[in-house]
């Protein structure tokens, strides 16, 4: 880790500081809450000019890793903060690194991680008396079963959460945070595979399994794996601006810096391929003919079925209407073009079968909460 961090720091310090910023505000739009109470708390994370006032830096980052945490949920964000700390010190001529990152465990011994590896060098949480700017928690659903001093841990979490600016859970670290009672009434997310059990165990929490990460007040919750890096980059962007966050993303070979509201699973991956051979053949045909102005009648004819029988068979086999399935295919095709090409909106709309950029715009707003142009800026800013 040290070698890779040093080489990445050297690369970052040689980049030209005079290049224009890729954005002036953070574009991590969060999902709109379903009820008015949550809607009042959900906020946009706005990029701010890096603080240079005396005492603004370093900002303390406390990273609590519960037993059984995934190593990637810890190492990725931890190193990103260290890299941002060193890069910002160079760019802003700070007297110290921008962040002071401390790894915490439930005791002063090594932290057992998922897969059998252990982390050493962590401090016991109850010896950490500083007030962190940001607290991050990683863990697994049954991490608390391996913690003997849960009462002390919850008391510490309550105390620290009341003082710090950000409280964040990484993937299933949310189970420990939820058990502490801090998330009662909050809108949260976690890895989609654990969302149902989280909602069942903590019915007082509003669980949304869709977004990569979600903010409700000072509380940030995220899915796991690469989503932990997306959340970390959003926090870095909030502190140090989009240009530096984009550089950290590039240094970590992240082609895209994804906004929090982006779905954990691509819509296309959610669509099942039918076991009904005529429908399966139709699905493959649809993928190859998205540019055509297809109607449900056209699809029924291609499947050699009557319109009524086709619609009924399609819904029974796939759980969605033919029109909805077709729109999802078109949205996914357009989304990929926005992320990976410089094609204009009119060309993308035509190639994906929307007919016009306005029709595509309405579909994006209805399904993704942002127009195509804003979506491209969000996911392509890195």
CA–CA distance, 158 with 152 (Å, rounded to integer): 10
- The three-class DSSP label of residue 4 is helix
The per-residue pLDDT string of the chain (382 residues; one tens digit each, 9 = 90 and over) reads: 444 444 444 334 333 232 233 332 222 222 222 333 333 333 333 334 444 444 588 999 999 999 999 998 999 999 999 999 999 999 989 999 999 999 999 987 789 998 888 999 899 999 999 999 999 999 999 898 888 889 999 999 999 999 999 999 999 999 999 999 999 999 999 988 899 999 999 999 999 988 888 899 999 999 877 888 889 988 998 999 888 888 888 787 664 455 555 555 555 444 555 567 788 888 888 888 999 999 999 999 999 999 999 999 999 888 889 999 999 889 988 988 888 789 999 999 999 999 999 999 999 988 877 899 988 887 654 4
Cβ-in-10-Å burial (0-12, 13-18, 19+) of 93 comes to exposed
Tokens 């800013």, residue located: 381
The runs of H, that is alpha helices, within the chain are 2-13, 36-41, 71-92, 150-161, 174-179, 195-201, 227-240, 242-251, 267-270, 277-288, 296-302, 307-318, 322-340, 345-351, 357-368, 372-380
Cis peptide preceding 58, ω within 30 of 0: yes
Do 245 and 295 have their domain in common?
Answer: no
Whether 193 is covered by a domain: the verdict is yes
Do 214 and 336 have their domain in common?
Answer: no
CA–CA distance, 11 with 16 (Å, rounded to integer): 11
Do 114 and 181 have their domain in common?
Answer: yes
Domain count, the chain: 2
Whether 261 is covered by a domain: the verdict is no
Residues near 309 by beta carbon (within 8 Å), at least 6 away in sequence:
none
* Helices 322-340 and 357-368: angle between axes, nearest 10 degrees: 100
Do 164 and 226 have their domain in common?
Answer: yes
Do 103 and 226 have their domain in common?
Answer: yes
Do 271 and 152 have their domain in common?
Answer: no
| Residue 344's CATH number | 1.10.10.60
Q: At CA 193, angle to CA 368 and CA 198, rounded to 5?
A: 95
Q: Tokens standing for 8?
A: 């990445």
Do 202 and 336 have their domain in common?
Answer: no
Do 203 and 329 have their domain in common?
Answer: no
Do 215 and 69 have their domain in common?
Answer: yes
Whether 217 is covered by a domain: the verdict is yes
Whether 37 is covered by a domain: the verdict is yes
**Structural domain range at position 312:** 267-380
Cβ-in-10-Å burial (0-12, 13-18, 19+) of 75 comes to middle
Q: Radius of gyration over alpha carbons of the chain, in Å?
A: 23
| Residue 119's CATH number | 3.40.50.880
Whether 256 is covered by a domain: the verdict is no
CA–CA distance, 152 with 374 (Å, rounded to integer): 45
Whether 124 is covered by a domain: the verdict is yes
């Amino acid at each position: 880790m040290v070698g890779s961090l040093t080489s990445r720091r050297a690369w970052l310090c040689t980049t030209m500081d005079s290049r224009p910023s890729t954005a002036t505000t953070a574009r991590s739009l969060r999902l709109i809450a379903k009820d008015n109470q949550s809607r009042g708390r959900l906020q946009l994370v706005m990029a701010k000019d890096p603080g240079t006032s005396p005492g603004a830096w370093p900002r303390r980052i406390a990273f609590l890793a519960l037993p059984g945490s995934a190593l990637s949920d810890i190492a990725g964000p931890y190193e990103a903060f260290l890299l941002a700390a060193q890069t910002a010190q160079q760019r802003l001529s700070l007297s110290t690194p921008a962040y002071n990152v401390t790894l915490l465990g439930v005791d002063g011994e090594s932290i057992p991680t998922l897969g059998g590896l252990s982390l050493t060098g962590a401090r016991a949480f109850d010896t950490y008396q500083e007030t962190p700017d940001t607290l991050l928690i990683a863990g697994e659903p049954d991490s608390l079963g391996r913690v003997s001093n849960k009462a002390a841990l919850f008391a510490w979490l309550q105390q620290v959460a009341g003082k710090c600016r950000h409280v964040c859970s990484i993937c299933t670290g949310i189970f420990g945070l939820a058990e502490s009672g801090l998330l009662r009434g909050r809108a949260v997310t976690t890895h989609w595979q654990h969302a149902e059990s989280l909602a069942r165990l903590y019915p007082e929490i509003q669980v949304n399994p869709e977004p990569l990460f979600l903010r409700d007040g000072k509380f940030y919750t995220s899915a796991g794996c690469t989503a932990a890096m997306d959340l970390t980059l959003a926090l870095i962007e909030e502190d140090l601006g989009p240009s530096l966050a984009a550089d950290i993303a590039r240094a970590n070979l992240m082609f895209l810096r994804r906004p929090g509201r982006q779905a954990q699973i691509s819509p296309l991956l959610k669509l099942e391929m039918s076991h009904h051979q005529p429908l399966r053949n139709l699905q493959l045909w649809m993928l190859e003919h998205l540019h055509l102005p297809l109607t449900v009648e056209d699809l029924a004819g291609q499947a050699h079925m009557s319109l009524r029988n086709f619609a009924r068979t399609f819904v029974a086999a796939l759980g969605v209407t033919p029109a909805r399935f077709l729109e999802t295919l078109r949205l996914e095709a357009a989304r990929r073009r926005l992320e990976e090409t410089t094609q204009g909106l009119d060309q993308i709309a035509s190639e994906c079968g929307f007919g016009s950029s306005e029709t595509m715009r309405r579909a994006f707003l209805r399904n993704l909460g942002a127009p195509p142009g804003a979506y491209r800026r969000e996911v392509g800013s890195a």
